[in-house]
């Protein structure tokens, strides 16, 4: 009988020559030993010594348990005890034979002298004397260390692969030749909203956001590409498409597909990377770049357009001043001046998009701004629209430009009104919110901190995603009479205040615009410092008499010929001595050559060769008592960086010529202390 068959009772021929057995015992390549009832080693063969890498002195006389792995010792003792205490099997010749019973125990671990552990399959045979008394236990072992190490390596590899599958950020899916899913890792569960049990056995095409026929065609095309010659086991296909979550939402993905033959079965491995974050990032970068480009364009257009408006307005005012009262041309000239005002407002609206635009900020309470606009809401909202205003108590103050806050609120309300031609509900809401470091507002991330939220929500028609993606683009409009600047102006103002605006809309579900503005106000300063000139909208009261004028010399530095000509002509009509310079360098040369005193400099800020700021900084060396009026079509960030001295003023184009002359007269006649 083969030595590895377990539990096989058999008579042992006691008359067989002992030398034959012991010769086999010593020569067999399998480790063997002889134990007494307590498990002490009475004899062992050379293969046993080699297996444990120990010599005779360290084997014979020891118990077998001393050579085992500590975790196997309790079970080994129990097995030996049960084996020795069991009765011998029956025999037909009880007086002529010894008895033995073979039993396969199990796998056992043993330790070598170097501390390494080895594995063996253990077979024990109990021998009884002819009088049925216990003789000894014969043990035979088969070295399975190589197999166990391979199994252990395989197990480690499987655990490693399982860890990779469980911790991978990409979805890893396998499916059979018929496209039925088999493996569905943790990331796949998270991305698609399905558990592995739910996904297993389902067609992989259900994860593709496309009609069934189109999805099947996509998978068939992938399979054909992987099978096409030259075929390689490492061949893979990559594509960008849209996937569908269990809840039906669609999202962009990058997909890689590879094929392999496992146990003669064709298997496809699919790796899916959710590109939602990257899509949002690209869209944010694209929108930012587009707005920055538009802002740069707006700044240049504003400068040139304001120059044109200044020319038109100045000459129209000069003609109006010389036109008798009651002349029909007076009304026509008034319309020209009103048109220049409209053009100036449009220019200011364009400048909202420029990163260099300046604004008059102060600590304001948004609730008060909304409340102050309530009457205006009633005038622009139709009767079939139900207006709800929900203002949070204890709303944080914000550092903002009051007029721009009024503008974004009114623009959003008007936009909501236009979205409900058949009436509906319009809600204006404010609240506080704290944004954490990992919080996301739509596709955006904000610096952590406290924010004030302004929401304007309507119950109108809503928009498709394609419209939502373009809603803040300048000049993009769905209205037949719109300019396309309303919402883009809102976007520019909010971004200019360090906030973001998000839009949530879907067809037949209405639209909600949500603006997040930083909740912070600077500490009030104990000493006022002029960041810029007084507003040009603050006119001198007509009943306050102008001081009498003497002969003053004014230097006008302006690179736009028509503006320079109109301004110098108007000032000369007032009796001033006016010097003209076509740019900053020309003005500096003229100021150095003149023998008299220049009392006032009127200069454009942006000029070739030498800017108005630089010119005003150099002229006091030659004319110490000179004051300056800075005129800007658009100087953006330059104006914010510069601080005017106490005696200087800035006026923006297109200016009111009468007001400019009033400012000039007062600057020339006031004392330094005033």
Task: Give the integer Cα–Cα distance in Å for 514 and 457.
Answer: 8
> What's the count of helices (H) and strands (E) in the chain, helices before strands?
19, 23
How much is the pLDDT for 85? 84
Task: Give the integer Cα–Cα distance in Å for 429 and 283.
Answer: 28
Backbone angles phi, psi at 353, to 5 degrees: -80, -15
Question: Going by C-beta distance under 8 Å and a sequence separation of 6 or more, which residues neighbour residue 121?
Answer: 4, 104, 106, 107, 141, 142, 144
Task: Give the integer Cα–Cα distance in Å for 434 and 451.
Answer: 6
Task: Give the integer Cα–Cα distance in Å for 482 and 475.
Answer: 8
Asked if residue 661 lies in contact with residue 574, where contact means CB atoms within 8 angstroms, the answer is yes
Task: Give the integer Cα–Cα distance in Å for 273 and 134.
Answer: 70
Residue among 71, 52, 72 at smallest CA distance from 62: 52
Model pTM?
0.49
How much is the pLDDT for 11? 34
How much is the pLDDT for 493? 85
Q: Catalogue all structural domains in the chain, each as residue range(s) with its CATH number.
A: 8-145 (3.30.450.20), 168-274 (3.30.450.20), 280-351 (1.10.287.130), 361-518 (3.30.565.10), 553-669 (3.40.50.2300)
Question: Going by C-beta distance under 8 Å and a sequence separation of 6 or more, which residues neighbour residue 316?
Answer: 333, 336, 337, 340
Q: Which two tokens stand for residue 331?
A: 């009304």
Residue among 607, 555, 605, 606 at smallest CA distance from 581: 555
Q: Give the DSSP H or E segment for 500.
A: strand 500-505
Task: Give the integer Cα–Cα distance in Å for 199 and 182.
Answer: 8
Asked if residue 66 lies in contact with residue 84, where contact means CB atoms within 8 angstroms, the answer is no
β-bridge mates for residue 388, sequence order? 427
Task: Give the integer Cα–Cα distance in Å for 450 and 448.
Answer: 7
- With b for 16 or more beta-carbon neighbours within 10 A and e for fewer, the 227-262 pattern comes to eeeeeeeeeebeeeeebbeeeeeeebbebebbbeee
Angle between helical axes of 486-496 and 402-418 (0-180°, round to 10): 140
Task: Give the integer Cα–Cα distance in Å for 674 and 665.
Answer: 14
Q: Which two tokens stand for residue 261?
A: 């033959």
Task: Give the integer Cα–Cα distance in Å for 484 and 173.
Answer: 46
How much is the pLDDT for 380? 79
β-bridge mates for residue 142, sequence order? 121
How much is the pLDDT for 479? 66
Starting at the earlier edge strand, list the strands of the sheet with 553-557: 577-581, 553-557, 600-604, 627-632, 649-652
Q: What is the CA radius of gyration of the chain?
A: 47
User: Between β-strands 627-632 and 600-604, what pairing exists: parallel, antiparallel or unpaired?
Assistant: parallel
Residue among 407, 415, 403, 421 at smallest CA distance from 472: 415
Q: Give the DSSP H or E segment for 486.
A: helix 486-496
Q: How many CB atoms lie within 10 A of CB 283?
A: 12
Q: For 598-642, what is each residue's pLDDT tens digit? A: 999 999 988 888 888 889 889 988 898 899 999 887 644 444 445
Q: Which two tokens stand for residue 207?
A: 């994860």
Asked if residue 208 lies in contact with residue 155, where contact means CB atoms within 8 angstroms, the answer is no
Q: How many CB atoms lie within 10 A of CB 433?
A: 17
Q: For 568-599, what is each residue's pLDDT tens digit? A: 999 988 889 999 999 999 999 999 988 888 99
Task: Give the integer Cα–Cα distance in Å for 377 and 460.
Answer: 17
Per-residue CA distances from 507 to 171, 278, 426, 635 (Å): 31, 25, 17, 43
Question: Going by C-beta distance under 8 Å and a sequence separation of 6 or more, which residues neighbour residue 428?
Answer: 370, 377, 387, 388, 389, 390, 409, 413, 454, 455, 456
**Using CB atoms within 10 A of its CB, is residue 589 exposed (0-12), middle (13-18) or buried (19+)?**
exposed
Per-residue CA distances from 182 to 12, 156, 160, 246 (Å): 56, 22, 19, 17
Q: Which residue has the tokens 């009262």?
A: 325
Start-end of H helices in 86-195: 145-167, 186-192
Residues of the chain with pLDDT under 50: 1-17, 524-544, 546-548, 635-641, 673-674
């Amino acid at each position: 009988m083969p030595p590895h068959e377990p539990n096989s009772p058999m008579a042992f021929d006691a008359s067989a020559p002992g030398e034959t057995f012991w010769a086999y015992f010593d020569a067999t390549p399998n480790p063997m030993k002889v134990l007494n009832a307590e498990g002490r080693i009475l004899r062992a063969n050379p293969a046993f010594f080699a297996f444990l890498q120990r010599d005779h002195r360290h084997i014979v006389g020891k118990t077998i348990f001393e050579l085992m792995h500590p975790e196997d010792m309790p079970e080994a003792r129990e097995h030996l005890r049960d084996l020795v205490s069991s009765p011998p099997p029956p025999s037909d010749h009880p007086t002529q034979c010894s008895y033995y019973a073979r039993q396969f125990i199990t796998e056992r671990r043993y330790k070598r002298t170097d501390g390494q552990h080895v594995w063996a399959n253990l077979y024990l045979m109990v021998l009884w004397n002819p009088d049925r008394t216990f003789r000894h236990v014969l043990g035979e072992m088969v070295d399975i260390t190589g197999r166990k190490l391979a199994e252990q390596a395989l197990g480690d590899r499987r655990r490693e692969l399982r860890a990779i599958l469980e911790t991978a950020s990409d979805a890893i899916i396998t499916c059979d030749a018929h496209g039925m899913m088999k493996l569905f890792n943790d990331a796949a569960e998270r991305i698609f909203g399905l558990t592995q049990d739910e996904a297993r056995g389902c067609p992989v095409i259900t994860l593709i956001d496309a009609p069934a026929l189109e999805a099947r065609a996509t998978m068939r095309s992938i399979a054909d590409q992987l099978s096409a010659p030259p075929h390689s086991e490492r061949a893979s296909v990559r594509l960008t498409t849209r996937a569908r979550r269990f809840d039906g939402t669609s999202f962009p993905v990058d997909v890689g597909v590879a094929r392999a033959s496992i146990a003669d079965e064709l298997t496809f491995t699919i790796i899916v990377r959710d590109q939602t974050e990257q899509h949002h990032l690209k869209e944010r970068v694209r929108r930012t770049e587009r707005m920055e480009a538009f802002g740069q364009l707006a700044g240049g257009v504003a400068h040139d357009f304001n120059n044109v408006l200044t020319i038109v307005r100045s000459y129209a005012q000069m003609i109006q001043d010389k036109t008798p009262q009651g002349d029909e041309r007076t009304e026509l000239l008034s319309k020209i001046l009103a048109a220049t005002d409209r053009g100036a407002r449009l220019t200011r609206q364009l400048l909202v998009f420029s990163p260099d635009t300046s604004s008059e900020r102060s600590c304001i309470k948004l609730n008060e701004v909304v409340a102050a606009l309530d009457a205006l809401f009633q005038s622009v909202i139709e009767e079939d629209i139900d207006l709800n205003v929900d203002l949070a108590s204890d709303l944080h103050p914000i550092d903002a430009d009051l007029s721009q806050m009024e503008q974004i609120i009114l623009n959003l309300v008007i936009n909501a009104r236009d979205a409900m031609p058949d009436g509906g509900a319009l809600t204006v809401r404010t609240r506080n919110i704290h944004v954490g470091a990992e919080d996301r507002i739509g596709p955006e991330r904000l610096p952590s901190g406290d924010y004030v939220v302004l929401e304007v929500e309507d119950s109108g028609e809503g928009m498709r995603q394609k419209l939502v993606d373009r809603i803040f683009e300048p000049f993009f409009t769905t209205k037949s009479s719109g300019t396309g600047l309303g919402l883009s102006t809102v976007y520019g103002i909010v971004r200019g205040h360090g906030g973001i605006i998000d839009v949530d809309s879907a067809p037949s579900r209405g639209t909600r615009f949500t603006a997040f503005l930083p909740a912070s106000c600077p500490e009030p300063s104990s000493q006022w410092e002029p960041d810029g000139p007084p507003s040009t909208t603050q006119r001198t009261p007509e009943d306050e008499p102008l001081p009498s004028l003497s002969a003053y010399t004014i230097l006008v530095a302006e690179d736009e010929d028509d503006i320079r000509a109109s301004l110098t002509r108007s000032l000369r009509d007032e009796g001033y001595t006016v010097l003209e310079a076509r740019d900053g360098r020309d003005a500096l040369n003229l100021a150095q050559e003149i023998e008299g005193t220049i009392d006032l400099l009127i200069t454009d800020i942006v000029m070739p060769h030498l800017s108005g700021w630089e010119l005003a900084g150099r002229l006091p060396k030659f004319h110490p008592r000179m004051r300056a009026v800075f005129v800007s079509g658009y100087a953006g960030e330059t104006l914010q960086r510069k601080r005017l001295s106490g005696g200087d003023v800035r006026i923006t184009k297109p200016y009111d010529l009468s007001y400019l002359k009033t400012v000039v007269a007062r600057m020339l006649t006031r004392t330094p202390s005033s």
